[in-house]
Structure 1
Amino acid sequence: MAGVNKTHLTETDIITKFILPAIKDAGWNVMTQIRQEVKLRDGKVVVRGKLAARLTVKSADIVLYHKPGLPLAVIEAKANKHEIGKGMQQGLDYARLLDVPFVFASNGDGFIFHDKTNPVQLESEIKLEDFPSPEKLWDKYCAWKGFTTEQMPVISQDYYDDNSGKSPRYYQLQAINKTIEAVSAGQKRVLLVMATGTGKTYTAFQIIWRLWKAKNKKRILFLADRNILVDQTKTNDFQPFGSAMTKITGRTIDPAYEIQLALYQAITGPEEHQKAFKQVAPDFFDLIVIDECHRGSASEDSAWREILEYFSSATQIGLTATPKETEEVSSTDYFGEPVYTYSLKEGIEDGFLAPYKVVRVDIDVDLQGWRPTKGQVDKHGELIEDRIYNQKDFDRTMVIDERTMLVAQTITDYLKRTNPMDKTIVFCNDIDHADRMRRALVNLNPEQVKKNEKYVMKITGDDEIGKGQLDNFINPKKPYPVIATTSELMSTGVDAQTCKLVVLDQNIQSMTKFKQIIGRGTRINEKHGKLWFTILDFKKATELFADERFDGVPEKVIRTTAEEITDPDSDFDEQLEDDTPESELPDVFTGMEETPATYDPTSGDGTGAFEEDDENKIRKFHVNGVAVKVLAKRVQYYDADGKLVTESFQDYTRKTLLKDKDYASLDDFTRKWQSAARKQVIIEELQELGVLWDVLAEEVGKDLDPFDLLCHVVYGQPPLTRQERADNVRKRNYFTKYSEPAQNVLNTLLDKYADEGVQEIEDIQVLKLKPFDSLGRPLEIIKSSFGNKQAYEEAVNELENEIYQLPSRSA
């Protein structure tokens, strides 16, 4: 390409004519090693009011791979008018996501090479013809990682590829590759922490596939504690294992299968004859993958831990969204620190998980308490203990019918304002509470229930009919059930892609449980219009969002003094919720079909949770005739810092722009706007910063140009409509400098601006529309009116400057 004037070439031209040829000449394979326009993030969803929109995200220009799934380098290109290394910072951000040490920035003249493997000189300039070969970068990469010769067959093993075009997301690549590296290096216990909805099972499949195909691990056990988890895994992500895979049933382990999936409960139990895992030798399995390892397997005295300890010679990989770290139970004590963590916050920021709006509802009796009159009896004639009952008591030890109806009415009103067919999960304190809530919702939604009696269903472990509707609830194609009342059964293992409303009327103190419940709403399903969800909170549970343990791996808590131990009577919820190993739950809680386990009446989703016991009586009083009302509602949104804020989209836009140096003042903004050859470029750049024009315009309630929207919302200027701006231009009569044909064109463009906006007049294709089409083709109009295309573009640019002229400060 010698002699080519690069300065007028676009970025795409630079890539096509200079960068790609240099890469190919260095020996890189176009089919397997070079990918262009690699979109690493989906674009965060921003929610305000009833509206939501995705932020636009940039793609990495080029990613180089050793082979598919094993990225090595990122290349960022810029047009030649820019400095050779201008794309470096952008490239470094992509390299961080992909966990690669090599970044190249180029404007077509050569490359700036950022090499993390070179401690002497991180960045150097190299010529186009000196681009490194695949072998050179792979050797440097392996040395940087410290791979041994023994590791290489496993490290280099191919990913599973079904030719469907599906490929792991960047964080899944990191999770898979880091796990493979750890296992191939001999690490026996591996922990992966990935937020609910980010594809832990798919990640596990690729890990197992590569280890199995490399013959590093030959007999593999996948353990879960719920039937739905095992069945979904076998049918969906693990399906490529085909005839090599089986699900263990009937307490028999068939050694003929290499990939075995099992419920804990199917291979163990309190009696020795139930311990089916002992049918095979302790060294039979050489890899065990434990799904949701924060539950029973994290506890040292759990019956499930016995399985892991029996197969202690096997490599064991734990998967969880919420590693358990309490004084008694620790995931990290057993598995060690996570080799990789992908948090809810990261998932939302990347646009892979749905953000949430929180509506906090405060009820008077919850905050102020309720006390019976002297000698008052409940509906069953029981004398009510004389004390003040408050939020933690309601629906545990005290039921107030009017409170139940008020919660149900609030849910109903919300759905009527939004969409009565939005999938909704209502989390109640126990099965009795879920029953009463179902009944209240049925009575408040007679029209919907007449259409389909399954509009509201109680889906709890004791109800076979309700459990039978679980698959229909989570199936995006099935409209019914719409509202599910539950207590424990749906808190985990339920892939509710289209759930748009999560209602919390349950006392939740356990961070692990809170994360799991919030995870029911975090999946995105754009096909069915699910980009975000609402949390309707009646029990202050969302205060846990402010806990520093909410996002990420919790610190292990160590108690040092007797005084620090919580009074056993001070927080009934904290002792009962989520800290009972699921091995002690009855089969209706866990989805177990094979063998019942020991029933602990304090374990949660069971009819016995609040029944009387000879030694420990927990009585539930039931009253009505109590006046209750909502004291306050507060709407909060997930903001850019991962915090909950109470603000409008105008506030969000103002805050976002003012902290950016290019838009910190009105002068900064207008200077950048006026200097831009095309305003559309600024509009798109602002959209990447989080300015969602349609959302902002609807909230402001005026049909304003993007320029005036921001002048008004961010900088407090009185807004002008597009028509007012067009009229001001005509008053200044600046058109007289042009020929009559040119004046006609500019006047018509000004009308187009007033009707459609600045984007319309910046596109030369506007000359194909009425009334221009009667004057000829676009090039004919330009030539007859302005002489040439450059003169036309200069005239349009001057027209825009006239449109956006600000009044003088002294006026």
Structure 2
Amino acid sequence: MSYNEAETRFWLIDPVLRDKGYNEHWKLKLETPAPVEPTGSKGRRRSGAGRTDYLLCVQVGDMPKPLPVAVIEAKAETEDPLKGMQQAKGYADCARFQVQYVFATNGHRYGEFDKPNQMPNGPFPFPEFPTHDDLTARYAKDSGVDVTKPEAAMLFMPDSAAFPKTRYYQDAAIRAAFEKILLCEQQSEPARVLLSLATGSGKTVIAANLLWRMHEAGRLTKPAHFLCDRDELREQAWDKLAKAFPKGSVRIVKSERGKNAAKNAKVHIATYHTLGLDDPDQNYASFLTEYYPKDSFSVIIIDECHRSAWGRWSEVLRRNLSAIQIGLTATPRELHESEKKTAEDAEITANNLAYFGDPVYEYRLIQAQEDGYLAACEIVRLKPSIDWKTFTREEVLAAKPIDARTGLPVMAENLSETYTAKAFDNALILPERIAAMCQDLFRRLCEHGGPEQKVIIFCTRDLHADRVQMQMQRLYAAWCKEKGVTPKEHYAFKCTAEGGSDLIEQMRGSGERCFIASTVDLLATGVDIERLNAVVFFRYLESAITFYQMVGRGTRIHEETQKYKFWLYDYTGVTELFGTDFISKSLKPRVKKPRGGEEGGDDSGGEEDPLPLPEIVGGQPVSITSQGRYILQRREGRDVPI
């Protein structure tokens, strides 16, 4: 009677591996949670186990942690070891686990895929499988990393005791970063590393363990610096890094009694604002230059580097050219040449790729959903009837527009020639449109879990966010009155640069208050709200980078409330940006267009201009029509709603 897969592993494979010098600690078993499915209002996790993979590791001397170099797949005794070992699968597994080889065996013969040659080989007799020493030497040759040198010790260091159970992709990302650093150092080149992982995948944990392992390997001869652009990101970094390192080793950069509070810390956490990097009236970074001489840091990690490392902010990088510089981002790496591109996207992409090089490791949203680490996504596409219309100046004048801010009449000279849908709520306020969209959204929330859900609504500008917040609050108050229930505190609130950020923590932590946040850009990146049930687009977008960051707000799973799915309500067609490929392209500098033109609604960022903001009150009936429901999947290497 022939052996099945498990029996083949136990009786035929493991004994040979032991004879070849691989002990039990050098065979790493990896298990993922069961995948999630977008069933019902909150989704569900499939019953049973997730995926199980086995990595084969090598060990150098008495280093505390073995180094994964290969995937080894066991097959039933009667199966062909080359079955399923296509080039695409082999390459994908190598990239996914950051290894050089994929082996498959039925206990008698084995086949392999090696990353350097990018092709399957075999079958070979399994007793001829490479010994531990042979595979170690082969890895060093194929990867270019001399694992015997002291500099390579960080590859073999354990994770911090605070985060000992890292997910497979987190460890893979750290190893990929270390390998790039070692190769750069061996070639006497500046070490520049880019990691691209989906929002919610734990990039801050990666940063914490990466720095800890470098510290344990003696690589932090000077302080490390974690650089971000928002207070919320700084606090999240502090939470993870302070747990990873001993007390007092991690400090937030700030002035205390005329001194740098982080002076003696091993890891310094700062925002650009703290360093004086965002003051347009200064030609230098005051805090940075006062307290940090050139080459003060051994490692710099730039969080959300897709938007943060350039312009005035890059001064901290230029002053530390000898430091290892690592960029973290969730944004797809290249922007496709299409009508969806913007000049800002192209500049960001070009800067990242030119400075850091291609990402050494990527972990996409769909892969994380298949692994059961991130929530599934159900897309609901909707369209306001009025968005098919173009308003002329004469039509707007005939409606007797008033300034939405002052209530004063708007004159013809302050109006654009035409107003298309992308101008609505940015350059032309249509109260009936706002009311219809809010009414439709509130109804859908009631149908799929009730109105008391955690929701972010992305609006066009600050005034638009105000109107949306008020409308959602009115709808909720009416619902509470009809149902005879007591309204919850701060049901709807605005969270923009003008205020409301103090309620983010309550939205994150409480199930009893702060449900609906209307925002422009403030919640677009870096804010972890695991409870978030829906992401809503009331604004038009052309930037795929911005879009992916905003979508990422809903991707986290919340086990306590059994949230395994988030809803994406698209009222403006932004989900067409899913699947956008990213390539670098040099574009001419963007010219600001008049309000009301086709370029509106993408990058106002809530900034108010001094011109009157026309509002048409009455006479504009609006209905919302469904454009279908979709599930986000991965097809032929692209994110596709199907």
TM-score with structure 1 setting the length: 0.66
Matches of 1:273 and 1:164, distance apart in 2: 38
Residues 768-787 of structure 1 aligned to structure 2 (within 5 Å): none
Q: 1:568 is matched with which residue?
A: 593
Q: Give 1:78's match in structure 2, choosing from 61, 75, 83.
A: 75
Once the two structures are superposed, residues 153-205 of structure 1 have per-residue CA deviations (whole angstroms, 9 ceiling, x without a partner) of 33533131428761232x32332112111212324222222221222212222
- Cα pair distance change 1:423/1:80, threshold 3 Å: same
Once the two structures are superposed, residues 303-332 of structure 1 have per-residue CA deviations (whole angstroms, 9 ceiling, x without a partner) of 211221122222211111225742487222
Higher helix content, 1 or 2:
1
Matches of 1:375 and 1:52, distance apart in 2: 46
Q: 1:490 is matched with which residue?
A: 523
Matches of 1:188 and 1:199, distance apart in 2: 23
- Output the amino acid matched with 1:267: L
Matches of 1:191 and 1:494, distance apart in 2: 21
Q: 1:753 is matched with which residue?
A: none
The answer to whether the aligner puts 1:366 opposite 2:410 as a matched pair is: no
- Cα pair distance change 1:121/1:537, threshold 3 Å: closer
Of structures 1 and 2, the one with the larger relative CO (CA 8 A, separation 6+) is 2
Matches of 1:121 and 1:644, distance apart in 2: 30
Matches of 1:293 and 1:164, distance apart in 2: 24
* CA-based RMSD: 3.2
Matches of 1:199 and 1:207, distance apart in 2: 12
- Cα pair distance change 1:445/1:265, threshold 3 Å: same
Matches of 1:120 and 1:401, distance apart in 2: 61
Contact 1:117 1:144 in 2 (8 A): yes
Q: 2:62 is matched with which residue?
A: none
Q: 1:410 is matched with which residue?
A: 440
Q: 2:337 is matched with which residue?
A: none
- Cα pair distance change 1:157/1:572, threshold 3 Å: farther
Residues 206-605 of structure 1 aligned to structure 2 (within 5 Å): 206-218=209-221, 219-242=223-246, 243-250=248-255, 252-253=259-260, 254-268=262-276, 269=279, 270-271=281-282, 275-278=286-289, 279-298=291-310, 302-322=311-331, 325-327=345-347, 330-370=351-391, 371-372=395-396, 374=398, 376-378=400-402, 380-383=407-410, 385=412, 388-419=418-449, 420-446=451-477, 447-448=479-480, 450-463=486-499, 466-475=500-509, 478-545=511-578, 548-549=580-581, 554-559=582-587, 568-569=593-594, 574=599, 577-578=602-603, 604-605=605-606
Most deviating of 83-92 and 619-628: 83-92
Most deviating of 319-328 and 254-263: 319-328
Once the two structures are superposed, residues 63-93 of structure 1 have per-residue CA deviations (whole angstroms, 9 ceiling, x without a partner) of 2222546212333223333345557567776
Tell me, which stretches of 5 or more residues in structure 2 are unaligned? 60-64, 334-343
Find the residue that maps to 1:634 and give its secondary structure.
strand
- Cα pair distance change 1:74/1:119, threshold 3 Å: closer
- Cα pair distance change 1:373/1:96, threshold 3 Å: closer
Superposition deviation, residue 138 in structure 1: 1.5
- Cα pair distance change 1:58/1:502, threshold 3 Å: closer
Q: 1:777 is matched with which residue?
A: none
Higher strand content, 1 or 2:
2
Matches of 2:251 and 2:139, distance apart in 1: 38
Find the residue that maps to 2:305 and give its secondary structure.
coil
Superposition deviation, residue 480 in structure 1: 2.0
Find the residue that maps to 1:639 and give its secondary structure.
strand
Q: Give 1:11's match in structure 2, choosing from 5, 19, 25.
A: 5
Q: 1:105 is matched with which residue?
A: 104
The answer to whether the aligner puts 1:34 opposite 2:27 as a matched pair is: yes
Once the two structures are superposed, residues 597-634 of structure 1 have per-residue CA deviations (whole angstroms, 9 ceiling, x without a partner) of xxxxxx623xxx2241xxxxx22123322332225211
Superposition deviation, residue 24 in structure 1: 2.5
% same residue: 28
- Cα pair distance change 1:273/1:373, threshold 3 Å: closer
- Cα pair distance change 1:183/1:639, threshold 3 Å: closer
Q: Give 2:178's match in structure 1, choosing from 180, 205, 209.
A: 180
Once the two structures are superposed, residues 394-414 of structure 1 have per-residue CA deviations (whole angstroms, 9 ceiling, x without a partner) of 222222222221111011101
Tell me, which stretches of 5 or more residues in structure 1 are unaligned? 1-6, 579-602, 613-617, 647-811
Query: Matched residue pairs, number?
Result: 589
Superposition deviation, residue 122 in structure 1: 3.2
- Cα pair distance change 1:450/1:624, threshold 3 Å: farther
Superposition deviation, residue 114 in structure 1: 5.3
Matches of 1:120 and 1:136, distance apart in 2: 20
Q: 1:798 is matched with which residue?
A: none
Q: 1:748 is matched with which residue?
A: none
Q: 2:161 is matched with which residue?
A: 162
Contact 1:384 1:621 in 2 (8 A): no
Q: 2:341 is matched with which residue?
A: none
Once the two structures are superposed, residues 26-62 of structure 1 have per-residue CA deviations (whole angstroms, 9 ceiling, x without a partner) of 33222x21234x23x5565443675845578864453
- Cα pair distance change 1:297/1:76, threshold 3 Å: closer
Find the residue that maps to 2:255 and give its secondary structure.
coil
TM-score with structure 2 setting the length: 0.83
Q: Give 1:198's match in structure 2, choosing from 180, 196, 201.
A: 201
Superposition deviation, residue 263 in structure 1: 1.0
- Output the amino acid matched with 2:326: I
Most deviating of 369-378 and 218-227: 369-378
- Output the amino acid matched with 2:439: Q
